Amino acid sequence: MPLYEYRCEACGVTFEKLLPRAESQKKVPCPQCGSVRVRRLFSGFAIGKSGSSTSSSSVASCPTCSGGVCNLP
């Protein structure tokens, strides 16, 4: 079973959930607040981490990235 990563749009917590692929599109409740307003994220593992020169400070300042590896110039 794949491990999916989510971010709650209500409280902002990021969490992971182990789900069968058939259930990956179902609403997943936030373990912190119970809201189903969650967004599935692309995990760093799925994107593929490498020994790139991207520093963590440039990732944190990227307006489109929420963490992990930023592939934007």
Residue 71 within any structural domain of the chain: no
Residue 70 lies in a domain: no
Check residue 73 and give its pLDDT: 55
Closest CA to 41 of 1, 12, 73: 12
Q: Is residue 73 part of a domain?
A: no
CATH (domain of 54): 2.20.28
Domain carrying residue 11: 3-60
Write down the pLDDT at residue 55: 44
Instruction: Give yes or no for residue 6 having a pLDDT over 60.
Output: yes
Question: What is the predicted pLDDT for the residue at 53?
Answer: 47
* pLDDT digits 0-9 by tens, 13-69: 999 999 898 887 889 999 999 999 999 998 666 555 555 444 444 444 555 565 556
35 part of a folded domain: yes
Counted domains in the chain: 1
Domain-located, residue 39: yes
Flag whether 51 is in a domain. Answer: yes
